A = this chain, B = another copy of it.
Amino acid sequence: MDKKALFHKLVSFTSSVHRVTNELTLNAKPDSVTQVQYKILEYITVNQPVTPSDISDCQNMSMPNTSRELKKLSEYGFIEKMNDTEDRRKQYIRLSKAGEIVMEEAFAMIESRFLNRVQKASEEDLEDIERALDILQTKLFHQ
């Protein structure tokens, strides 16, 4: 296998993924939060509960900036902070009820655009897509 060719295929693939992700999520984000804040909310939604350090690592932003954005999200009422009972330096962050509602709305919009995109796909196509997602997830985009 020509790994160089595979690499180039990956490059144009990721570029497509980014473009389509942009299309699907366009304006899905509520106006009340910025792009970075939305990314944080998305991360929390999928991984909650998370600590500020987790967010800092995974979104690669510095702790001070992470802390600032979390403070805003907390002020807007989209997240809740809880202290760890064992290590009192740590916090656990979850979506609040309002945060859940906001993210459900965003995801509903994204989902409807996704459905639109696969509208014409046959049952077989969908199964191919699912298999392909699984393969790439486990063999290439793991961890």
Contacts and interface: CB of A to CB of B under 8 A. Distances in A.
Given A1-B126, A123-B1, A7 B114 contact: yes
Interface residues of A, number: 51
A128 interface: yes
A16 B141 contact: yes
Interface of A: 1, 3-4, 6-7, 9-22, 26, 42-43, 46, 58, 60, 107, 110-111, 114-115, 117-118, 121, 123, 125-137, 139-142
17 contacts: A1-B123, A6-B118, A6-B129, A6-B133, A7-B114, A9-B134, A11-B107, A13-B136, A13-B141, A14-B17, A14-B21, A22-B60, A117-B140, A121-B139, A129-B135, A132-B136, A133-B136
